[in-house]
Chains A and B, each alone.
Chain A
Amino acid sequence: MTHFGAVLLFALFASVVFGVTQRDTPRRMIRYGLYCFALFAGAAIVLSWLMFLIAR
């Protein structure tokens, strides 16, 4: 498993739990889960590039 694959799996599972537990209706659960997933994955990509540029 690649590091990025591990990040995506982490984001997926955490987002599902956040979506199910933090919202009331199925539609809002899906929207919030997708929002969390995007934030998890996006933050990982941004921070990775940041660390790459700092290390250069």
Chain B
Amino acid sequence: MATEENKNVAAAKGFVYLPLIAGWLVPGAGHFLLRKWGRGALLAVSILGMFSIGIAMQGKIYSSAHDILDILGLAGDLGNGLLYVVSRIFGLGADQVMVTTADYGTRFIVVAGLLNVIAAVDAHNLRTGRKA
């Protein structure tokens, strides 16, 4: 009952898309805004870890799209939110995939972005009360 009341109070206040946007920009931030500390920490560690490992493996950060695979890769990378912006500003990652591990790293970065989108949508569902 108390949980239901909290849910209703949370659903009644503020900008409803804030957890979605915050969660997209910073992994886990959407859940932190909703005081889901444990879930947010797990998501943040997983997504940041995946992105960092991808960068450490010299994965490629997509900056332009010339064909359909590039477009899909760029869309996945954009899911990383501010991590993508920071990595572009500081020139992280490789321009060209030269070794096998760099190919794996590229996939790690793309999948980190896709997982971040899932996490942000989950934060939105929590905010709207669609999920407990």
Q: Enumerate chain A interface residues (CB-CB to B < 8 A).
A: 1, 3, 6, 9-10, 12-14, 16-18, 20-21, 24
Q: Please tell me which stretch of B5-13, B63-71, B111-119 contacts chain A, meaning at least 4 of its Cβ atoms lie within 8 angstroms of it.
A: B111-119
Partner of A20, one of B100, B107, B108, B122: B122
Instruction: Chain A residues near B101: list those with CB within 8 A.
Output: 1, 6
Complex CA–CA separation, A12 to B101 (angstroms):
18
Is there contact, CB below 8 Å, between B132 and A21?
Answer: no
The answer to whether residues A6 and B131 also contact, given A13-B49, A20-B43 and a CB cut-off of 8 A, is no
The answer to whether A13 and B115 have CB atoms under 8 Å apart is yes
Q: Are B49 and A17 in contact (CB under 8 A)?
A: no
* Residue in B closest to A17 when the chains form the complex, CB atoms: B115
CB within 8 Å: A-B pair count: 50
Give 15 pairs: A residue, B residue, CB < 8 Å, sorted on A: A1-B57, A6-B57, A6-B101, A10-B50, A10-B108, A13-B112, A14-B115, A16-B43, A16-B45, A17-B115, A17-B119, A20-B42, A20-B122, A21-B119, A24-B132
| Closest B residue by C-beta to A2 | B101
Provide the bound-state CA to CA distance between A12 and B47, in Å.
Answer: 11
Q: Is B34 an interface residue (CB 8 A)?
A: no
- Give the residues in chain B near A9, CB-CB below 8 Å: 49-50, 53
Also in contact, A17 and B108, with CB within 8 A (given A1-B57, A1-B101, A24-B132): no
B39 at the interface (CB under 8 A from A): yes
